[in-house]
């Protein structure tokens, strides 16, 4: 935690479509603010001992979504002073939104559609993107967009260097709620 900001007792959650940069930016943001970093997809893969693609293949998407919700509940109970990068589908369940709001402010990393398609055009290990064509990826993104827009803060990432996005997150959070100082 950044010295002088003792009122920051919560966490910060990053949401966005797969390939939006949640893990990359979350790592940079956590270092900059001296907060812990949590990646929900990584924790779930460790729990199952399988990749996300293998979890989907072996147990189905629903099992993965159930694990996401259980993980969120656990994070709400024990996680403090952390940047949490969520999986791209975490926003699909209303229950997850209730828990995320308990955990801390939610920031939507809004990436450009063309950038997302380019990032997801080759094999990525993401079961909902691999073997999907451009239109299928965009359709999934557009279906999820209203869920992402429920975030406390929307940060555009197009043509932004990672440090610029981090600055936009920090400045935006302070404007939304001055108690969210870093």
Detail the residues annotated as belonging to a binding site for substrate. Answer: 41, 65, 88, 144
- Residues flagged as binding site: 19-24, 41, 65, 88, 126, 144, 160
- Residues flagged as binding site for Mg(2+): 23
Q: Is 89 helix (H, G, I), strand (E, B) or coil?
A: coil
b/e sequence 112-141, b meaning 16+ C-beta within 10 Å: ebeebbebbeeeeebbbbeebeeeebbebb
Interior CA angle at 23 toward 48 and 152, to 5°? 110
- Residues flagged as binding site for ATP: 19-24, 126, 160
Q: List C-alpha distances in Å: 103 to 46, 67, 134, 142, 158.
A: 22, 17, 34, 26, 27
């Amino acid at each position: 935690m950044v010295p002088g900001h003792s009122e920051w007792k919560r966490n910060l959650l990053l949401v966005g479509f797969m390939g939006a940069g949640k893990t990359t930016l979350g790592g940079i943001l956590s270092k900059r603010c001296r907060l812990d970093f949590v990646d929900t997809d990584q924790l779930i893969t460790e729990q199952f001992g399988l990749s996300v693609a293998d979890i989907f293949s072996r147990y189905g998407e629903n099992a993965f979504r159930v694990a996401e919700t259980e993980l969120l509940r656990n994070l709400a109970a024990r996680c403090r002073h952390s940047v949490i990068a969520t999986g791209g589908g975490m926003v699909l369940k209303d229950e997850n939104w209730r828990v995320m709001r308990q955990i801390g402010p939610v920031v939507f990393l809004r990436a450009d559609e063309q950038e997302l398609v380019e990032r997801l055009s080759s094999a990525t290990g993401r079961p909902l993107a691999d073997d999907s064509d451009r239109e299928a990826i965009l359709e999934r993104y557009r279906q999820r967009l209203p869920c992402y827009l429920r975030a406390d803060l929307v940060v555009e990432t197009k043509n932004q260097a990672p440090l610029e996005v981090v600055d936009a997150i920090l400045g935006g959070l302070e404007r939304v709620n001055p108690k969210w100082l870093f």
